[in-house]
A and B are shown apart, each in its own frame.
Chain A
Amino acid sequence: GENVEQHPSTLSVQEGDSAVIKCTYSDSASNYFPWYKQELGKRPQLIIDIRSNVGEKKDQRIAVTLNKTAKHFSLHITETQPEDSAVYFCAARGANAGNMLTFGGGTRLMVKP
């Protein structure tokens, strides 16, 4: 089945700096890669996603890039703000039965004011 690795597990940046979180996946047939943000005590919220026919997608301060050849994708947050502090999860939807999402282990991002 699909395996998703996420790095780093924790990331601390100064307000205004950029943050990058990277994920690798194992199933070359995976075709959908969402990113979720989970604030303390809240539900995971979908913040951006990318499909396998696109190499990059941007939404204001966040962007996601996909390298299908290397089987990795990354989340980029520019001009970080304290409210960006949360746990971020990447996921991949493979060709497995049911087309379930396989999640990475999460990255705890701390933005210091």
Chain B
Amino acid sequence: EADIYQTPRYLVIGTGKKITLECSQTMGHDKMYWYQQDPGMELHLIHYSYGVNSTEKGDLSSESTVSRIRTEHFPLTLESARPSHTSQYLCASRRDSLYEQYFGPGTRLTVT
């Protein structure tokens, strides 16, 4: 089924650890996005990509990095996790020629 997949769905990790949040979509979408959201609160864009080998920082300053080596895959990496990184991370995508943007199920990250 065409969808956006995120793994892990939940992650509890200690301070200083390196983590990678995975995002894959099987809809053939060109554009992909990462948002940070505290539960029920505003969505903040942290990274986006127009396509393969294209990555840009969003409005919210983030200590994370992203890569886009394959169209369907857009992982987000935190080199050294801190308690301030505790949040929900939502991946989204859309086709360049269409307006609609769809979200993945999210990864809820807790850094202790």
Binding site for B on A (CB under 8 A): 1, 32, 34, 36, 38, 40, 42-46, 49, 51, 87, 89, 93, 98, 100-101, 103-106, 108
Whether A106 lies near B105 (C-beta < 8 A) is no
A46 contact from B58, B101, B106, Cβ within 8 A: B101
Whether B42 lies near A106 (C-beta < 8 A) is yes
Given contacts A43-B104, A44-B90, A105-B42, contact A100 B33 (CB under 8 A): yes
Total A-B pairs in contact (CB under 8 Å)?
A: 46
Given contacts A43-B104, A43-B105, contact A38 B40 (CB under 8 A): yes
Whether A43 lies near B103 (C-beta < 8 A) is yes
Say what secondary structure dominates the interface of chain A.
strand
Interchain nearest-CB distance for A30 vs B (Å): 12
Binary flags per residue of B83-112, CB closer than 8 Å to A gives 1, else 0: 000000010000000011111111000000
Interchain nearest-CB distance for B9 vs A (Å): 10
Chain A residue with the shortest CB-CB distance to B96 = A99
Q: Which 7 A-B pairs have the closest CB atoms?
A: A43-B103, A103-B43, A105-B42, A32-B99, A44-B103, A87-B40, A43-B105
Chain A residue with the shortest CB-CB distance to B35 = A103
A103 contact from B42, B56, B104, B106, Cβ within 8 A: B42
Whether A34 lies near B100 (C-beta < 8 A) is yes
Interchain nearest-CB distance for B87 vs A (Å): 14
Interchain nearest-CB distance for B45 vs A (Å): 6
Chain A residue with the shortest CB-CB distance to B106 = A43
CB-contacts of B10-49 with A (<8 A): 31, 33, 39-43, 45, 48
What are 13 A-B interface contacts by the 8 Å CB criterion?
Answer: A1-B59, A43-B90, A43-B104, A43-B106, A44-B90, A49-B99, A51-B99, A98-B48, A98-B50, A98-B56, A100-B58, A105-B41, A106-B40
